[in-house]
């Protein structure tokens, strides 16, 4: 079995962050609110995060939130998708 890549790890973090904020990325994509290329751009931004351990820690202790932590590069987009 291949080892997890950084991209895979960040995809899981991004999906968990979306759920924590009340957004469903797959549903948003199906509705047309999240074009596939935008989702790819979001994942690239997540991969460039300077604090993935902080993100994982925040997610581990947070069940639901209205806003992402300040270091989240996709916080605004995820909050907007949650509001739709």
Does residue 51 belong to any structural domain of this protein? yes
42, 77 in Cβ contact below 8 A?
yes
- pLDDT tens-place string over residues 6-65: 999 999 999 999 999 999 999 999 999 999 999 999 999 999 998 999 999 999 999 999
Q: How many domains does the chain have?
A: 1
Does residue 1 belong to any structural domain of this protein? no
- Three-state secondary structure along 27-54? HHHHHCCCCHHHHHHHHHHHHCCCCHHH
Domain around 51: 6-83
pTM score, two decimals? 0.91
Does residue 17 belong to any structural domain of this protein? yes
Does residue 28 belong to any structural domain of this protein? yes
Does residue 71 belong to any structural domain of this protein? yes
């Amino acid at each position: 079995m291949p080892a997890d890549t950084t991209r895979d790890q960040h995809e899981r973090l991004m999906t968990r962050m979306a759920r924590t904020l009340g957004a469903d990325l797959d549903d948003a994509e199906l509705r047309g609110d999240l074009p596939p290329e935008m989702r790819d751009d979001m994942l690239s931004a997540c991969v460039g995060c300077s604090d993935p351990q902080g993100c994982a820690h925040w997610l581990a202790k947070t069940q639901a939130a209205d806003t992402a932590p300040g270091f989240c590069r996709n916080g605004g987009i995820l909050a907007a998708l949650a509001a739709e």
